Amino acid sequence: MKRLHTILLIDDDETTNYLNHRLLSRMNTADEIRVVTNGEEALDYLGKAFAGTEGYPRPDLIFVDIKMSVMDGFEFLEEYQKFDEADKARTVMMMLTSSASFYDLEKLKQFPEVLKHYSKPLAEADVREIIEEHF
């Protein structure tokens, strides 16, 4: 399985972040796994990463939660669309959710950057599938 440089987890749930970080670390999936807890923090991080700011490695893979405080996943995705296409093209985005409602899944279709959604927390099979299909 290919090893990535950086994975970014965007979720306000500490338990989910812990479980996902632990799984990704155990599977040796990336050199770095970064965690931010809302969409605003994620946009700030990505703005710096895409600008080449030292200490903010560009993520190869992003997992974003739908339901978060401060700025939810959909609000984040609306703002994410404003980033340069060349920057976004080098990053794979997946949505994480604990409840995939029909409404949420339909709304996801508006965001072509999101390639697929997965249930929280991630499973080893999910991670293998993502890396094999997209890297």
Domain boundaries, the chain: 13-134
Residues written for the chain: 135
Q: Beta-carbon neighbour count of residue 134 at 10 Å?
A: 15
Rounded Cα gap, residues 103 and 62, in angstroms: 22
- pLDDT at site 35: 98
When pLDDT is averaged across residues 109-133 and rounded to a whole number, the result is: 95
Class of the CATH domain delimited by 13-134: alpha beta
Q: How confident is the model at residue 12 (pLDDT cuts 50, 70, 90)?
A: very high
C-alpha–C-alpha distance, residues 54 and 49, integer Å:
8
63 band by pLDDT with thresholds 50, 70 and 90: very high
Residue 134 in this model has a pLDDT that exceeds 90: yes
